[in-house]
Amino acid sequence: MAPALIQEVEDDETTSPSKELELTPVEATLRTLLLDVAKYIDENPNSPDPENQVKLPPELANEKIVLRFTGGWVRDKLLGVPSHDIDLAINKMTGYQFGLRLKEYLEIPGNPEKYGLEGVATTDKQNQKAGSADKSKVVGGLHKIEANPEKSKHLETVTTKIMGLDIDLVNLRKETYTDDSRNPAMEFGTPEEDALRRDATVNAMFYNINTTQIEDFTGRGHDDMKAKIIRTPLEPYQTFKDDPLRVLRLIRFASRLGYKIDAKALKAMRDSEIKDALRRKISRERVGIELEKALRGPDPHEAMRLIYSLDLYDTIFSDPTIEPEDAYTPETRGWQAVIDCLRDTLNGESVMPEVLVKDNEDRFLAWQIAAMVPYNDAPQPEPPEPGRKAPPPIAAQVAREGIKSTNKVCDIIASSLRHQSEISEVVHQCYQHRRRQMRDMVDQNSAAAARDTLGMAIRGWGSSWRTQATYAMLVEVAQETSDAEAIEKKYQTFTLHLQQLGILEAHTFKPLLDGKALAKALNTSPGPWMKDALDVVMAYQLRNPDTASSKDAIEEVQQHLQHEKSKQNGGELSSSFLHHFLKLTIRPLFLKTKPTSVTDTGRKNTTTVLPKKMTNESFDDSVTRPWKNDPYALDQLRWCVAALDTKEVEGVWHLLIPPLLTLVDDWEVRYKTLGVKLVQQVLLVTPPALLKKTGLGEVFEEALMPCLTYIPTLTPEEDSVKLLGEAYPALLTLSRLRFPEPASTAPAAPTPLPSQPPHDLRTKSLDRLLRSGPLHTFSLCPAPTFPRLAARLYRHTSLILRDLGIESVKHLKYVLPTLTATLTHPLAAPGEERWRVVMLEALRCLRVVVLMGWARMGVWRGEVLRGVTGAWIRVVDVERKTGGGEEGLEGLKKEIREVVEVLRCAVLGQGVEWEREWGVLVEVEPKLKGLFEGMGDEEGRAA
**Which tens digit of pLDDT belongs to each residue from 229-245?**
999 999 999 999 989 99
* pLDDT at residue 610, as a whole number: 58
149 & 294 share domain: no
Position 25 confidence tier, pLDDT thresholds 50, 70, 90? very high
The H or E element containing residue 893 is helix 889-907
Length of the chain: 943
Instruction: Give the domain extent around 87.
Output: 4-227
47 & 164 share domain: yes
Mean pLDDT value across the chain: 84
Q: Is 926 exposed, middle or buried (0-12, 13-18, 19+ CB in 10 A)?
A: exposed
Spatial CA neighbour of 216 closest among 188, 196, 243: 196
**Average confidence (pLDDT) over 24-38:** 95
787 & 925 share domain: yes
Domain count, the chain: 6
Q: Residue 28 corresponds to which amino acid?
A: A
pTM: 0.62
**Average confidence (pLDDT) over 682-695:** 91
The H or E element containing residue 19 is none
Spatial CA neighbour of 594 closest among 656, 658, 666, 655: 658
73 & 213 share domain: yes
Number of Cβ atoms within 10 Å of the Cβ of 900: 22
496 & 524 share domain: no
Select from 473, 492, 508 the last residue of a domain.
Answer: 508
* pLDDT at residue 816, as a whole number: 94
* pLDDT at residue 940, as a whole number: 39
583 — phi, psi (to 5°)? -85, -40
β-pair partners for 145? 157
CA distance 236 to 271: 11
114 & 259 share domain: no
CA distance 581 to 640: 8
754 & 713 share domain: no
CA distance 897 to 879: 16
Q: Residue 620 corresponds to which amino acid?
A: D
Given a cut of 50, whether residue 573 has pLDDT beyond it is no
290 & 178 share domain: no
The H or E element containing residue 550 is helix 550-567
45 & 91 share domain: yes
- Say if 584 falls within a structural domain: no
Given a cut of 50, whether residue 426 has pLDDT beyond it is yes
Note whether 251 and 262 are within 8 A (CB). no
CA distance 878 to 323: 71
Cα–Cα distances in Å, from 868 out to 188, 203, 726, 864, 881? 92, 79, 30, 6, 20
* pLDDT at residue 875, as a whole number: 86
134 — phi, psi (to 5°)? -60, -30
* pLDDT at residue 348, as a whole number: 85
The H or E element containing residue 85 is strand 85-90
CATH number at residue 30: 3.30.460.10
β-pair partners for 188? 173
Name the pairing type of β-strands 165-171 and 173-176: unpaired
Note whether 864 and 903 are within 8 A (CB). yes
Give residue 156's Cα distance to chain centre: 40
Given a cut of 70, whether residue 455 has pLDDT beyond it is yes
- Say if 575 falls within a structural domain: no
Tell me: the pLDDT tens digits for 349-368?
888 888 888 889 999 999 99
Note whether 513 and 553 are within 8 A (CB). yes
876 & 928 share domain: yes
Sign of CA dihedral 799, 805, 807, 809: positive
- Say if 32 falls within a structural domain: yes
CA distance 556 to 291: 51
Q: What share of the chain is helix, strand, coil (3-state, %, to 5)?
A: 65, 5, 30
639 & 777 share domain: no
Spatial CA neighbour of 395 closest among 334, 330, 332: 330
Position 6 confidence tier, pLDDT thresholds 50, 70, 90? very low
Given a cut of 90, whether residue 882 has pLDDT beyond it is no
CA distance 532 to 538: 10
Give residue 147's Cα distance to chain centre: 38
* pLDDT at residue 3, as a whole number: 41
- Say if 327 falls within a structural domain: no
**Average confidence (pLDDT) over 671-699:** 93
- Say if 252 falls within a structural domain: yes
Give residue 706's Cα distance to chain centre: 31
- Say if 89 falls within a structural domain: yes
Note whether 478 and 373 are within 8 A (CB). yes
**Average confidence (pLDDT) over 144-168:** 70
CATH number at residue 241: 1.10.110.30
Tell me: the pLDDT tens digits for 256-272?
999 999 999 999 999 99
- Say if 769 falls within a structural domain: yes
Select from 198, 227, 256 the last residue of a domain.
Answer: 227
Q: What is the dihedral of CA 841, 842, 845, 851, to 10 degrees?
A: -130
- Say if 300 falls within a structural domain: yes
Note whether 292 and 264 are within 8 A (CB). no
Between 529 and 940, name the one with better pLDDT: 529
Tell me: the pLDDT tens digits for 709-719?
999 989 999 99
Tell me the three state secondary structure of residue 464. coil
Cβ contacts of residue 161 below 8 Å, gap of 6+? Answer: 130, 131, 132, 136, 139, 140, 167
Please report how many Cα atoms fall inside a 13 Å half-sphere around the Cα of residue 798, on the Cβ side.
15
Angle (CA) 336 339 345, round 5°: 135
**Average confidence (pLDDT) over 339-350:** 91
501 & 605 share domain: no
Select from 707, 738, 769 the last residue of a domain.
Answer: 738
CATH number at residue 716: 1.25.10
Q: What is the DSSP letter of 382?
A: P
Least confident interval from 544-553, 589-598, 849-858, 896-905:
544-553
CA distance 418 to 693: 9
